[in-house]
Structures are given as C-alpha cells and as structure tokens.
A and B are shown apart, each in its own frame.
Chain A
Amino acid sequence: MKVKVEEPINIEVEHIARVEGHGNIQISIENGELVNCSWDVVETPRFFEVMFRGLSIEMAPLLASRICGICSISHALASARAAERALQIRVPKIAQNVRLLAKHAETLQSHTLHLFFLVAPDLLDVGSVIPVLKSHPEIIQMATQLKGYANQASDLFAGRTSHPMAIQVGGVTQVPRKSQLWSLLQDLESIMPTLWKALDIFKTLPFPDFERETEFVSLRGEGHYPFIGGDLISSDGVHKEEDAYLAMTNEYLVDTSTSKLCKLSRESFAVGALARFNNNSAWLHPQAKVVADELGLKAPTYNPFHHNLAQLVECFHVAYESQEMIATLLDSDLTYFMAPYQAKAGAGVGAIEAPRGILYHSFETNEQGVILRSDCVIPTGQNHANIHHDLQALVPVLAAEGVGESEISKQAQMLVRAYDPCISCSVH
C-alpha cells in the first residue's frame, strides 16, 4: 500500500511498557511502503499444561491462579468450574453468588488499574502514573478509592486480590459475616459518586478515532450480562456450547510468538470488554447503559481504543450489580457454601469472562481424581492476532496522514495497550 511519507520509518519497541508481560512492536516503512509491521510476543513459556498433570483435581484452582497475578480470581474460577463439571458437582447457590462477587471485585480492580495507571498516562502525555500524582492528584485519588474498594471486596470474597485461596473445587472456603457484608455495602455506596466523577473525566479524554471491523467472541448472555459459564457466541454468528470451546479458539503457532494465536471466521477475532459489550450490551445494568449512552458507545463499535470505554461501562455494571447482590446475601441463609464430592473419572470445561476476555480451562481426570490432561486458552492469546492486524491497518493510515515516527510509535503502543494485554498469561 502507498503512503505519503517518503522518509524511512523504523520503529522497534522492545518490551512495551505499561502492559503485563513482554511483547515487541516492529514497524518499518520504506519509500512510503509498509515493509513490516508486527506484534511479537517474546514472553518466556511456563508450561502450565504440563504442571497440572499428575496433580489431584482439587489443586487445580490454586495452581491455575498462578498463571496470572492480575486476573488470578478468573483463573481460579475457570479451573474450579472445569473441575466441577468434570466431577459433576453442584455448586451451592451461596457459593455461586460469593464467586460472582469476587469476580466483580476483580473486574473493577483490573479495569481501574488499566484505565487509571496504564492508559491515563498516554492521554495526559506522560510516561507513567508517577508524574500524574503531582499533575492530576484528583485522578489518583479516584483510582485510589475505586481500587481500594475493589481490593477490599476481593479480600473479603476471595481471600485476597492475587492468588485467592477461598475459591475451591465444590464452592468457597467461607462466606463473609453479615456485619462484614453490611460494612462493605456502605463502602461500595460511598464510591459510587467517584465512579460518576471518573466518567466525567474519561468523557473528555481524547481516544484515537480508528476503526477496523472484526469478529467479537464472548459468553452468550441469557437474562444477564454473562461472566461465569454458558454458551459461546461470536458476532459473525457462531454459537457453540461451553464444552465445544476448541471450535471457537482454533489455536495455531507462528515463529514470531511464544503465545499460541487463535482464529474463527476471519483472520482474527477480539475478546474482552468491547466484545462483551458488543455481544451482550442488552443485558447491562440500566445505570451502565446510561454510561454507555453518555460515552456515545453503541454496539457494534469497531474502534479498538473503545475497549477502554467498554471497561469503564463494565465498572458501573459490576459496581451496581454487586450492590444488589450484597443486599440479597444479607437476606440469605449463608450456612451452605461447600458441596461435598467424590473423586472420579471425567472431563470438563470452564469458561469465564476474565477482565481481558473469555478464558477457558479444561481438565480430564482418572478415577482417583488425578489430572491426566489439561488445556488453558487465554484471552490475550485470542487477541494477539487481532492486535497484529489492527496495527497493520492503523499504521498506514497514520503514515498517510503524514504523522511522524514518534506519534506512530505512541499510537501503536496505545493500540496494544487498549487491549490491556496480559502477556504472561497468554504464554502460560
């Protein structure tokens, strides 16, 4: 493709900052032609699928959480769900509610970390959150309040934010006392005004205007905005049961990446907040819908930078839904939260909407409940190819507009960052 700029442009970003894990961007433009433009994952593999083998299935959520320090609650939930489906365990209703509250706490924690600490510096044109402490203390104060609540809720419902211990096969190890729930509910109410203030700020921040149509994959909402289990859908019309996840992921390897890549109906697809929003916005909490309207976000939206806005919409959804769920728990009998079970041979899949998109764990056990085979397909692994193709579409547009090398580099990094990639996770 022809572009206006004749100066050769060579951009090499080694280990892009403000994302989890290690990835590189390479762009070269010569004589106005895009010669090379790629997103390469250079993270060191850990071989979790091998680490699981030979362990008792009850160990799965504990080991799985170590796949990622940020979304470890999602990994614990995906493993617990896969194990429970393999062993045909019915998880008590109270445990399901506590788990979803833990999940919501993680979503709020992860999204606010991304929006305020990793993305905001780009929009304020600084290298990190450290100068923002001085220049925009009000933004840091907001982040502090929102993340503070989210961490507190994670501690209460999952044991802690990273590597939770309360989510176990069969249910949860304990349920918070009603006095703790009551006090948390008050804290949650106190951060609501902060959320609305955050909306006022993000409404004014300039996100790049760029679109590339792609396929969006997520859980399928049925009566609620989905986070834990259920059918799988894509915006191109694919619809599968949870157990048939391999038909949604189609993993393959390339030389430039230690992460496996995925595809479905096209060369790439996207998962994450924007995919969930595009596929399931009908099921958002009414207040979250108001927020989407205020941000001008309408499904389907094909601007990858709007992942950030969809994350903000989801912050409202999880906060408001948590409020209702905690109130319900306060009126419930909280005594039964762990189902007894027997080890047996089986196979099961657990699909979870992690903060960065749909996550699958799958296990097969023998009669003693020992793991024979495991598989994990990670949201960021599903996004890598889409990021790569977005870059290939974005860079020529910028070059044609005569945008200089440093601005191309900045926008390319912002694009990668918009997906909130969790690279260590993708190379588990």
Chain B
Amino acid sequence: MKYLGITLEKPKVGVFGFTGCEGCQLQIANKEETLADLLGAIEIRNFRLISSDKNDDYDVAFVEGSITTADEVARLKKIREQAKILVAMGACACLGGVHNLRSRFPLEETVEAVYGDHPIESRAVSRVSDVVTVDIELPGCPISKPEFEWLVRHLILGIKPQFPQYSVCVECKQRLNTCVLDMGVLCLGPVTRGGCNAICPRNRFGCWGCRGPAEEANFESLIQILRDHGFSERKIAERANFFNAFNGVEAIPAMEKSTSP
C-alpha cells in the first residue's frame, strides 16, 4: 500500500472482547460502504466475532469491555505482552461503563440476586487501564465507526491521534441543533468531550457523557443550570453516573448506594 509515494505497512490487528455487549466490535464490521477498504488497509489477525482464523501475531490490539473476572485479567495481560499498541475501545473499556451501576451493591449480594447459591465467579468492575497500560482510549458507547477509521488512518501513518477535548456543544452547535436543554431534556453536552458529532442531541435526546469529561469542564455551573431547569438530584445523579464518566468529580451528585440488590 502506497501513500504519497511512501510504502506503508498494514498494521496487524487483533480485536478482543471482555465483559460487554460486543457493540463496539460490531461497529467495526458495520458501515458497509467502507468495510472492504478498511479490511484492505489492515490485516485482521484475530477477531473472533467475524473470523474463525486465529493468529496471535498482532501489533495493535483493540480491547472492548470492562474486566470482571480473574480469567479476563490473565487474558488481558497476555494481550498486553503481545501488542505494541493497546487501544481501549468504548465506554466499558475506558470508563467501566454501565457495568459500574452494579457497584452500588455489594458483590456477594449481587451474585446471589441473579444466581442464588449457584457458584459464579465475578469481581469488582475494572477499566482496562486499571489492569494494564493503555496506549490509546477510543471513547463512546458505542464507538463511532468514522472515528475508528480515523484512528486506523493514524495508526497506519504512525501519527499520534489527538482526540477532541472540546465539549459536545461545539459539534451540536455546528449541526445547528436546537439546544435540547431548552426543550426540557436533560443534557450533559457542556461537560462531555465531543467527537461524536452530537448524535444524541441530534436525535432530541440529551448527552449522557459516554465519552468522558471535556477539558476545562465547568461541572458546578452545569449542575446549577440543570437544577434551575427543575431536574431533581436523583435524575441528575442517574444520568451523570450512567457510564461512570465523571468518577471523582465533586460537583456531580452521587447515586444512592444500597445493601440489598
């Protein structure tokens, strides 16, 4: 493959799923109009969702899902040993994602609530970066295919990707969307980092922060604005904690913890 007269190597890629819905992996196989180009630009070495051909000689590992068992910790460490570049892909891998909603309850009671006294192994929800070093975080729930392709172009060209740090509002305004807050819809766009092309507000639905915090986000002001719009503490807490995106931000109201799931 040549680009500007320079021969480029196809990155050898592995795609791996852990605790999650495989929706991010699916995005890679989706968007058919560019699928053939994508599969021509990289060499898929290991991607169980779409291929029975398995090869553990890969340079770039895309890792989806959060980590919730000892077996997953071991598998992830092995992938880290092999991969030159490890990409955490999606909200579960980058933030822990929706799985963190179960962290409101003690683990033992959680397992018992679903499986009774049947033995099932599980542990507290970890992000990929809690277990191994992550080189690149590709955000979103799910990831966006255009952004994945944009990242792959960077990997092929050997350029460090610079993800947007500005808020969702920037792209939302560029698309000339009516502000959903003014329509009475709760939105975290002002504090969430962009790059998603404001897909949720575009569909008259507020942003839920799946991509994590924007740079220089003013949480205090947004929370005050949400309160002024009449949203209850419960509603604000539920939305802002949904993906575990603002973990440790003081201004964000916490969710109720409970001992009995």
Which A positions have Cβ atoms within 8 angstroms of B? 15, 17-22, 44-47, 49-51, 53-56, 59, 62-63, 66-70, 72, 113, 117-118, 121, 127-130, 133, 140, 143-145, 147-148, 151, 159-163, 165-166, 168, 173-174, 253, 258, 413, 424-425
A20 to B208, CA, bound (A): 26
For window 48-69 of chain B, which residues contact chain A by CB distance below 8 Å?
Answer: 48-54, 68-69
Determine whether the beta carbon of A130 is less than 8 Å from that of B44: yes
B120 near A51 with CB under 8 A, answer no
Given contacts A44-B18, A72-B21, A173-B204, are A15 and B111 in contact (CB under 8 A)? no
Chain A residue nearest to B68 in the complex (CB): A44
Q: Could you say which residues of chain A place their CB within 8 Å of the CB of B255?
A: 54
B20 within 8 A of A: yes
- A selection of 20 A-B contacts at a CB cut-off of 8 Å is A21-B17, A44-B72, A50-B110, A56-B234, A59-B238, A63-B101, A69-B24, A69-B25, A70-B26, A72-B21, A117-B50, A128-B51, A129-B50, A130-B44, A145-B32, A151-B30, A159-B200, A160-B199, A162-B27, A174-B204
Q: Which of B39, B120, B203, B234 has the most CB of A within 10 A?
A: B203
Q: Are B114 and A51 in contact (CB under 8 A)?
A: no
- Given contacts A69-B27, A72-B23, 6 further A-B pairs with CB under 8 A are A63-B101, A66-B23, A127-B52, A129-B51, A133-B39, A425-B21
A133 to B17, CA, bound (A): 24
Contact flag A148-B53 (CB < 8 Å), given A44-B122, A56-B238, A67-B21? no
Q: Is the CB of B23 within 8 A of A163?
A: yes
Per-residue CB proximity of B89-107 to A under 8 Å, as 1/0? 0000000011101101100
Residues of B within 8 A of A121 (CB): 52
| B36 CB within 8 Å of chain A | yes
Cβ contacts B8-36/A at 8 Å (1 or 0 each): 00000000011111111111011111011
Determine the chain A residues whose CB is within 8 A of the CB of B205 once the complex forms: 159, 165-166, 168, 173
Q: Which of B122, B203, B261 makes the CB contact (< 8 A) with A45?
A: B122
Partner of B99 from the list A46, A54, A56, A425 (CB cut-off 8 Å) is A46
Find chain B residues with CB under 8 A from A253 CB: 115-116, 118
Given A50-B114, A144-B35, A253-B118, A69 contacting B51 (CB threshold 8 A): no
Q: Tell me the B197-216 residues at the A interface (CB within 8 Å).
A: 199-200, 203-205, 208
Q: Are A133 and B36 in contact (CB under 8 A)?
A: yes
| Alpha-carbon gap, A121 to B50, bound state (A) | 10
Contact A159 B199 (CB under 8 A): yes
Residues A151 and B31 in contact, CB atoms below 8 Å apart: yes
* Residue in A45, A117, A145, A159 with the greatest tally of chain B CB atoms within 10 Å: A45
Contact across chains for B23 and A17 when beta carbons are under 8 A apart: no
B113 at the interface (CB under 8 A from A): yes
How far, in whole Å, are A174 and B183 apart by their CA atoms in the complex? 13
Q: In which size bucket is the chain B interface?
A: 35 or more
Q: Is the CB of A128 within 8 A of B21?
A: no
- How long is the Cα–Cα vector from A163 to B18 in the complex, in angstroms? 18
**A49, B22: Cα distance in complex, Å:** 19
Contacts of B203 in A (CB 8 A): 159-160, 165-166, 173-174
The residues of A that contact B17 with a CB separation of less than 8 Å are 21-22, 424
Contact: B98 with A69, CB < 8 Å?
Answer: no
Q: Are A144 and B33 in contact (CB under 8 A)?
A: yes
Complex: A319 Cα to B54 Cα, angstroms: 36
Q: Is B258 an interface residue (CB 8 A)?
A: yes
A143–B32 touching, CB < 8 Å: yes
**Chain A residues within 8 Å of B27, by CB:** 69, 162
Asked if A62 contacts B208 (CB within 8 A), the reply is yes
> Which chain B residues border A72 with CB–CB below 8 Å?
21, 23
Contacts of A165 in B (CB 8 A): 199-200, 203, 205
The 9 closest A-B pairs by CB, nearest first: A69-B23, A128-B51, A144-B32, A127-B53, A17-B52, A159-B203, A51-B101, A165-B205, A162-B23
Assuming the A-B contacts A56-B238, A66-B98, A424-B20, are A47 and B114 also in contact, with contact meaning beta carbons closer than 8 angstroms in the complex? yes
B110 near A118: Cβ-Cβ < 8 Å: no
> Which chain A positions have C-beta within 8 A of B256?
54
Contact A161 B30, beta carbon cutoff 8 Å: yes
Out of A46, A147, A163, A425, name the residue touching B141 (CB < 8 Å): A163
Distance between Cα atoms of A56 and B234 in the complex (Å)? 8
- In the docked arrangement, what's the CA distance between A128 and B50, Å? 6
Kindly provide the distance from the CB of B259 to the nearest chain A CB, expressed in whole angstroms: 12
- The reply to whether A56 and B235 form a contact with Cβ atoms under 8 Å apart is yes
Given the interface pairs A54-B255, A56-B238, A113-B29, the reply to whether A45 lies near B36 with Cβ below 8 Å is: no
| Chain B residues positioned under 8 Å from A21 (CB to CB) | 17, 22
CA distance A258 to B199 in the complex (A): 35
CA distance A165 to B207 in the complex (A): 10
Per the bound structure, the CA–CA distance linking A45 and B116 in Å amounts to 14
Residue contact B199 to A18, C-beta cutoff 8 Å:
no
Q: Within the assembled complex, what's the spacing in Å between the Cα atoms of A88 and B139?
A: 37
**With A70-B23, A128-B51 in contact, do A50 and B113 touch (Cβ < 8 Å)?**
yes
User: Roughly how many angstroms separate A143 CA and B203 CA in the complex, as a whole number?
Assistant: 27
The smallest C-beta distance from B162 to any residue of chain A, in angstroms, reads 25
Give the distance in Å from the alpha carbon of A163 to the alpha carbon of B26 in the complex: 12
Q: Beyond A15-B48, A117-B50, is A45–B114 a contact (Cβ under 8 Å)? A: yes
**Min CB distance, B249 to chain A, in Å?**
20
B195 contacts partner chain A, Cβ-Cβ < 8 Å: no
- Which partner residue on chain B sits nearest A127 by CB separation? B53
* Residue B142 lies at the interface, judged by CB distance under 8 Å to chain A: yes
Contacts of A59 in B (CB 8 A): 238, 242
**Which residues of A lie under 8 Å from residue B115 when comparing CB positions?**
45, 253
- State the CA gap A46–B69 with chains docked (Å): 11
Could you say which residues of chain B place their CB within 8 Å of the CB of A54? 104, 255-256, 258
Residues in chain B near residue A148, CB distance under 8 A: 32-33
- Complex CA–CA separation, A20 to B234 (angstroms): 35
Give Cα A69 to B145, complex, Å.
Answer: 14
Please, which residues of chain B bring their CB within 8 A of the CB of A67? 21
A352 to B250, CA, bound (A): 41
Contacts of B35 in A (CB 8 A): 144
